[in-house]
Chain A
Amino acid sequence: MSSTETNIDQFKSLIAEAKQQSESVRIRGSGSKDFYGVSLEGVVVNTKDFSGITEYDPTELVLTARSGTPLSVIEDALRENNQMLAFEPPHMGSEATFGGCIASGLSGPRRASQGAVRDFVLGVRLLNADGLDLQFGGKVMKNVAGFDVSRLIAGSFGTLGLILESSIKVLPKPECERTIFFDLDNQSAISKMNELAGMPIPLSGTCFVRNRLAARLSGSEIAVKVAHQKIGGEAHDEKDFWHSIREQSHPFFQSEGCLYRLSVNPTALRSEYPNELIEWNGSTRWIWDEGTLDKHQEFASQHGGHATVFRGNQPGDSINKMSRELHLLQKKIKTAMDPHGVFGRKRLFTEF
């Protein structure tokens, strides 16, 4: 038996055991996203040894890899072919795995222009609670056969099944990149972000922090040059800036307490601004402490969105609020995919 088959058999028996004992399994790559969620419960099933890129043909723009594959290995392989993961996944730890990247569904600065993990997932191979080995989606760019289970899995934090393998769409790396800085306050930064995002320029990231708005342009040499002329502003080569935003290693993120993440209409304004970091053309706002989840949700609701406790949640407390109808549907989805509640109990919701 090959080692990957042994791995799969081990996963199956751990799942079976947990199911039999009405326990939960907690699927874990390197634990780099352990900080996130309602609580961490259940027997750890580690995917790290289930590793390797199984298929990658650069001209197909598709890469398939096992869950335990280090994200850095995937990014190296892509870099060799001048390609990239366009959603710029945050690693949040040097050993972050590919499976964790799909399961957490977290995306980096390029998200607003290129899409999130869920926009690039093409297919998944999944072990369900009965230990059945299932495939959804595929290794091709377009696929509407059956419900889109692969995208449903993206961001489900190991609560719907064990991802064995995923296929994702990859893209060529831009030839050239330039970051331009503007000195602005919160309100004018929000306006500027929306203005830039409405212009036909190759904008690949915006971030406002500490009275400075950074706008990144990516594309061909000429495209970047022309766009810069159009929007003005000073270009600085701050190499690690975007990395520090993606990885939350920027000084803004070095604090204690609760880090809230607000996902709202990009144009949402306030009368008084907190100390915040704004990304994704205005639609994502990061705020330390200051207030409660209810208070942030109130603002978010007024602006068509949601607030989430991203870091520093009190274990067992809910990390977000949603409507009764929506909550009911979430529960039905969980039951449809994992009727016995074997996977990641209480990672995302307080009751299941």
Chain B
Amino acid sequence: MGHIERDLKEYPVASVDKGTLVREFLSFLSIESVKHKTEDLTPFECDGLTAYPQIPLVAVLPENEEQICQIMKLCNQFRVPIVFRGAGTGLSGGAIPYDQGVLLVLSKLKRIVHIDPVGRSAIVQPGVRNAAISEATKKHNLYYAPDPSSQIACSIGGNVAENSGGVHCLKYGLTVNNILKVRFVTIEGDVVEIGSEGLDSPGYDLLALITGSEGLLGVVTEVTVKLLPTPEKAQVIMASFDDVEKAGLAVADIIAAGIIPAGLEMMDKKAINAVEQFIGAGYPMDAAAMLLCESDGSIEEVNSEIKKTTEVLYKAGATDVTVSTDDAHRLKLWAGRKSAFPAVGRVLPDYFCMDGTIPRRTLPRVLKRIAEMEKTFNLQCANVFHAGDGNLHPLIMFDANEGNQLHRAELYGAAILELCVEVGGTITGEHGVGIEKINQMCIQFDNHELQTFLNLKLAFDPEGRLNPGKAVPTLNRCAEFGHMHVHRGEERFPDIPRF
């Protein structure tokens, strides 16, 4: 953020004749699978980051892997940049197209290919919705653990590309910890299988490299996910605090007591109020902060953990503790948290969702500085927080049609990201870099580290055709951006008091 522009000048694009390209595509794709008229392309102009719309030259919606191979070969031959798109819920602009590029949309590949209830895995196509997997495996008492709040819409291919997390990832891990195998197609149009049906495979861990690679290395065409047995019982505690810092310390107390909750989320007053007005989840409007803390397991286990956690919470200064009475109540409490982004979107027309992760102990300091920055940039910010794993989602609210609010919001976002790096954290915990945080990559990494990323990118995509200009900045871009690389965990001017 801060002067984001799509930057392709480092990636010379052969200007290609749209007509020729469309004709070539139509030689192996159906008419409905090739979109080239402006009105057909507008639905693809942005993802969840709405501030920078752009329609692609052509969008293609293949129906199978073979067509994907052909598309890749063709784009490679015509030297056209390609952007992949799953469900378009990404929040960092990863799926935003190029005006001179092809958008490869995976929405037609939405088949669950195979479920193995005994071996506890499922093979799915990339366009399958995250939630559809657990819905389909429910009858076997199995589920797919990573549950991003966007799970009813986002695709598993997008999840792999972003290494998405969810509210249960402290205990159950991120996408990378829950997939066994991936098929992907390279820019040359070759199919490669990585991972295995076992728990590991020889050589370098390419599965880890592909996960979170933001569409820069290849297109994911099939994913084998791990399934877990559905816990017998789950129950959630909602705890209110009259002070944000106390809530933050309570999180550390829970961990110190040896408890790893299935989910551990925090919201500040602004987020609570926005959610409560949006869907009425029964949240405490007068609290300064609240925690949602879930236990799952056998009935007896949950009962004992809920008791233990409740004690810890009261000791940590909770003013009120509510335990979900049944599953409907539990889901209602979670529904509030899961709708936090759209709820905040109701307060003002636009919001930027930041995604830094910090060492949890720095939370009070970080929240204080984020609050102070509200004054600096004259904008409001609500905070939602995957508290268990230190992943912050400050939601900067603005109205892009009002004066220079968009620009101020960009600067505010940039300042928050830089703060996360300063305290020893990272600019993105789960939403990815995309175009949104491309400049902040220059702050988190030095040139040699970035060069390592670029070398890996070149190993897969020697001419930089896949999602060029995103996720990993070129060294030139960083030189132009001009901000200094901040050494992790060292504040830039530690002696200057912070106000």
- A and B together in one complex: yes
Residues on A close to B: CB < 8 A?
Answer: 57-62, 82, 105, 111-112, 115-116, 118-119, 128, 130, 132, 134-136, 138-149, 151-152, 154-156, 160, 171-173, 175, 194-195, 197-202, 219-220, 222-223, 225-227, 262-267, 280, 283-284, 300, 303-306, 308, 319-320, 322-323, 325-327, 329-330, 332-337, 348-349
* Chain B residues near A (Cβ < 8 Å): 116-120, 140-142, 162-163, 165, 169-170, 173-174, 176-177, 181, 190-194, 196-206, 208-209, 211-213, 229-232, 252-253, 255-256, 258-260, 297-301, 303-305, 357-361, 386, 388-391, 424-433, 437, 441, 444-446, 448-450, 452-453, 455-460, 471-472, 488-489
Q: How far is the CB of B391 from chain A (nearest CB, A)?
A: 5
Report the Cα distance A149→B210, complex, angstroms. Answer: 11
Q: Among B300, B424, B472, which residue has its beta carbon within 8 angstroms of that of A223?
A: B300
What residues of A have a CB within 8 angstroms of the CB of B163 in the complex?
Answer: 144, 148
- Given that A146-B449, A267-B116, A304-B197 are contacting pairs, would A171 and B260 also be in contact in the complex, using a CB cutoff of 8 Å? yes
Set A59, A148, A308: member contacting B202, Cβ < 8 A: A308
Contacting B231 at CB < 8 Å: which of A160, A200, A222, A306?
Answer: A200
Once A140-B426, A146-B449, A333-B459 are accepted as A-B contacts, the answer to whether A303 and B297 lie under 8 Å apart by CB is no
Q: Which residues of A contact B448 (CB under 8 A)?
A: 128, 130, 132, 134
Nearest CB on A from B120, distance (A): 6
With a 10 A CB-CB cut-off, give which of B141, B169, B191, B448 has the most chain A CB atoms.
B448
Bound Cα distance A141, B163 (Å):
13
CB pair A263–B199 under 8 Å, yes or no, is: yes
Question: Can you list 27 A-B contacts with CB-CB less than 8 angstroms, sorted by A residue number?
Answer: A57-B359, A59-B360, A60-B359, A116-B200, A134-B448, A136-B452, A141-B391, A142-B391, A143-B429, A144-B433, A149-B452, A151-B209, A152-B205, A172-B258, A194-B119, A198-B229, A200-B230, A202-B301, A222-B301, A223-B298, A223-B301, A304-B196, A326-B192, A333-B204, A333-B206, A333-B209, A336-B452
A144 to B177, CA, bound (A): 13
Q: CA–CA, A116 to B301, complex, Å?
A: 25
Contacting residues, chain A, for B427 (C-beta < 8 A)? 145
Q: How far is the CA of A263 from the CA of B488 in the complex (A)?
A: 38
- Tell me, rounded to whole Å, the shortest Cβ–Cβ distance linking A37 to chain B: 11
Q: Is the CB of A140 within 8 A of B390?
A: yes
Residues of A within 8 A of B446 (CB): 134
How far in angstroms is the closest Cβ of chain A from B65? 14
| In the bound complex, CA of A59 to CA of B260 (Å) | 11
Nearest first, the 5 A-B pairs at minimum CB distance are A304-B197, A263-B198, A151-B208, A141-B389, A142-B429
B204 pairs with A330, CB closer than 8 A: yes
A220-B301, A283-B198, A336-B456 given; A325·B192 CB < 8 A: yes
Minimum distance in angstroms from A98 CB to a CB of chain B: 19
Nearest Cβ on chain B to A77's Cβ, whole angstroms: 16
Q: How far is the CA of A219 from the CA of B308 in the complex (A)?
A: 14
Q: A59-B256, A222-B301, A284-B199 are in contact. Are A151 and B205 (CB under 8 A)?
A: yes
Is A136 within 8 A of B449, CB to CB? yes
Of B141, B231, B297, B390, the contact of A141 (CB 8 Å cutoff): B390
A119-B173, A140-B425, A145-B437 are contacts. A155–B165 as well, Cβ < 8 Å? Answer: no
Asked if B357 and A226 sit within 8 Å, CB to CB, the answer is: no
Give me 13 other A-B pairs in contact (C-beta within 8 A), A119-B173, A138-B426, A144-B429 excluded.
A59-B255, A61-B255, A118-B205, A135-B488, A145-B427, A145-B437, A147-B453, A198-B118, A220-B301, A222-B300, A226-B300, A334-B204, A348-B203
Q: Which residue of B lies closest to A225 (CB)?
A: B300
Q: Quick one: which of B170, B201, B441 contacts A145, CB cutoff 8 A?
A: B441
B456 touching A148 by the CB < 8 A rule? Answer: no
Q: Given contacts A148-B209, A219-B301, are A134 and B452 in contact (CB under 8 A)?
A: yes
- Contact status A140-B359, CB under 8 Å: yes
A112 to B228 Cα, complex, angstroms: 11
CB–CB B191/A306 < 8 A: no
B201, B212, B232: the one within 8 Å of A263 (CB) = B201
Bound-state CA distance A259–B458 (Å) is: 37
CA separation between A60 and B390, bound complex, in Å? 9
**Whose C-beta in chain B lies nearest to the C-beta of A224?**
B301
CA A294 to CA B430, docked complex, whole Å: 41
